[in-house]
Amino acid sequence: MIVHGHFYQPPRENPWTGEVDEEPDAAPFHDWNERIYSECYRANAQVSFIDERTGARRIVNNYTHLSFNFGPTLLTWLQRTHPDTHSQIIAADAESARRRNGHGNAIAQGYSHAILPLCNERDRRTQVRWGLADFRYRFGRAAEAMWLPETACNSDVLDLLIDEGLRYVILAPDQASRIRKTANSSWQEVTPGELNTGVAYEYRHRNLRDRSLAVFFYNQQLAGAIAFDRALASSAELVERFVRSGQNGDLVNVATDGESYGHHFKFGDLCLAHAFEVVIPERGLKATNYGEYLDHYPPVAEVEISHGADGEGSSWSCPHGVGRWIRDCGCQTGGDPGWNQSWRGPLRRALDFVRDEAAAFLEQTRGELFIEPWAARDESIELILNPSLSSVFLKRHAPRLFTIEDEKRALLFLEMQRNTILMYASCGWFFNDISRIEPIQVLKYAARAIDLMKQLGLPFSSQRFLEILSQARSNKPGPGNGADIYRRSVETANPANQPADILI
């Protein structure tokens, strides 16, 4: 059996100060990162319970048992604010690798949790490469797999994962379209209820058919029970659900938000620890991770994935494919009767306008500041992780000897690009209104990118940006439209409304 936890929070830092501003809704904590850290991330690193057999107190690090991924921006925050917990997570991966034939429990994640099928090719590549580089930096090894934000994918995404040397991916069962046993057999259409999630499948690269990666589809019924049906109320009942979900000794694997274990469900961390440490061994079951499993059980059939209702891609949380992050598809999270999410389209178009203008400006640096601007951007994750490397980095990518002013301009261009990457965090579109903190946060990264364009003397049209954003109307009478929200809640986020220090 495999339990995978997806641990993620959107980047919350004020892009001008690098600090997380106070979020009153998270009270009594300063912000949501701190609240969920207390209830979940730290809790799972040091679960305490009394062993009923011995009467002794046991301290369990659940990350030594879970297959897991952490968002790179969340780990960055943890390393800065709670380094002990960050170290416990890294140590748990190393311990699991020792137990499981070199296969650590941790896998990578797309860098800023962007919906990868909706990214253009260039941004998708950067999201993947930054995620893999962040993983190598923290865990000291190459990632075997990458968690796709919202499990959103299409063939472009999976082909890119193969190109980047990854071994497997985890998807929802309704993302499978059809399967076949051998290359010469006929394809069979599948539905979520028909798909056997107890085996691995093989996805073949569209252009390089001899290259592939394994695909695991998690048990959706069991995942729903953990997330919504109080399966974490009892460790014995949780394990019993795993037993009942098994078919002929096949793998039972489940993937859920990691925040289920302690944040969404109080004491979920305790349930998990007791299940792994006591109940699973008593039942004679084996917990493993996907890398170790593949060593013994390679894929049994080839799979083609669904590209969703609109052909843009599929995901685990939108039955319309990836519509939730681009249009009013009908998915929502609360709100009053009659509310709509038609603001999603204009919000994405406004951010795309910032992205495309920033990309054109970066391209103009070719031969002046960078030999190959896009290679420099892909590799600039080095500076995000270690800003002290800036001189060495620039010497490698500069087409000539730089002055101090040249170095400053080059770093400003890269900082501009970093903010365009961060502004696509999926939470900006997930909920019910553009006036929430999540859309405001992604707009802050857009504003920071615009601010940097102005510092660089680039002719960005703020008027056109606001015209597009004004088409996004709040469901509430007070906030107005996206342009109103931007002026009131975004531009004011820069405390002094002055150029800020470069963060990379």
Write down the pTM of the prediction.
0.95
pLDDT in tens, 265-302: 899 999 999 999 999 999 999 999 999 999 999 999 99
Provide the pLDDT confidence category of residue 54 given band limits of 50, 70 and 90.
Answer: confident
> Of 263, 282, 305, which residue is a domain's last?
305
Tokens of 137: 């930096």
Residue 288 backbone dihedrals phi, psi, to 5 degrees: -145, -170
- Looking at the 3D structure of the chain, how many domains does it have? 2
Residue 481 CB: number of other CB atoms within 10 A? 18
Residue 267 maps to a domain: yes
Which of 305, 324, 345 is the endpoint of a domain? 305
Give the CATH number for residue 164: 3.20.110.20
Give the model's pLDDT for residue 121: 97
What's the whole-number mean pLDDT along residues 477-501?
Answer: 84
Same domain, 443 and 298: no
Same-domain pairing of 301 and 356: no
pLDDT digits (tens, 9 = 90+) for 172-200: 999 999 999 988 899 999 987 889 999 99
Question: Are residues 153 and 258 located together in one domain of the fold?
Answer: yes
What are the residues whose beta carbons fall under 8 Å from the beta carbon of 484, sequence distance 6 or more? 470
DSSP secondary structure letters along 299-349: --EEEEE---TTSS-B-SS-TTSSGGGTS--S------TT---TTHHHHHH
Q: Is residue 219 part of a domain?
A: yes
Does 284 share its domain with 354? Answer: no
Residues 365 and 487 in one domain: yes
Residue 260 lies in domain? 2-305
Q: What's the pLDDT at 503?
A: 55
Judgement on whether residues 300 and 340 belong to the same structural domain of the protein: no
Helices then strands, each counted (H, E), the chain = 20, 13
Q: Is residue 502 part of a domain?
A: no
Average pLDDT, the chain: 94
Mean per-residue pLDDT, 25-54: 93
pLDDT of residue 504: 61
**Beta-carbon neighbour count of residue 477 at 10 Å?**
6
pLDDT in the model for residue 52: 80
Please tell me the distance from the alpha carbon of residue 181 to that of residue 3, in angstroms, as a whole number: 27
366-385: pLDDT as tens digits:
999 999 999 999 999 999 99
Shared domain for 340 and 300, answered yes or no, is no
| Shared domain check, 378 and 268 | no
Residues 118 and 243 grouped into a single domain:
yes
- The model's pLDDT over 292-307, given as tens digits with 9 standing for 90+, comes to 999 999 999 999 999 9
Residues 494 and 452 sit within 8 Å (Cβ to Cβ): no
Q: What is the pLDDT of residues 197-229, one digit of tens each?
A: 999 999 999 999 899 999 999 999 999 999 888
pLDDT at residue 257, rounded to an integer: 95
- Residue 284, in any domain of the structure: yes
Whether residue 88 is found in the same domain as residue 139: yes
Query: b/e per residue, 22-48, with b = 16+ CB within 10 A?
Result: ebeebeebebbbbbbbebbbbbbbebe
Asked, for residue 256, whether it belongs to a domain, the answer is yes
Q: What percent of the chain has pLDDT over 90?
A: 88
**201 shares a domain with 53:** yes
Q: With bands split at pLDDT 50, 70 and 90, how would you rate the model's confidence at 439? A: very high
Last residue of a domain, one of 305, 327, 350: 305
Q: Which pLDDT value is given to residue 310?
A: 81
Average pLDDT over residues 102-117: 98
Give Dmax over CA atoms of the chain in angstroms.
71
Task: Check whether residue 391 and residue 292 sit in a common domain.
Answer: no
Residue 474 lies in a domain: yes
What pLDDT shows up at residue 209? 87
pLDDT attached to residue 499: 52
Residue found under tokens 């040397």: 165
Q: Is residue 325 part of a domain?
A: no
Which of 299, 286, 298 has its CA nearest to residue 100? Answer: 286
Q: Answer whether residue 322 is part of any domain.
A: no
Distance separating alpha carbons of residues 195 and 203, to the nearest angstrom: 15
Q: Rounded to whole angstroms, how far apart are CA atoms 460 and 464?
A: 9
- Is residue 28 reached through a cis peptide bond, with omega within 30 degrees of 0 on the bond before it? yes
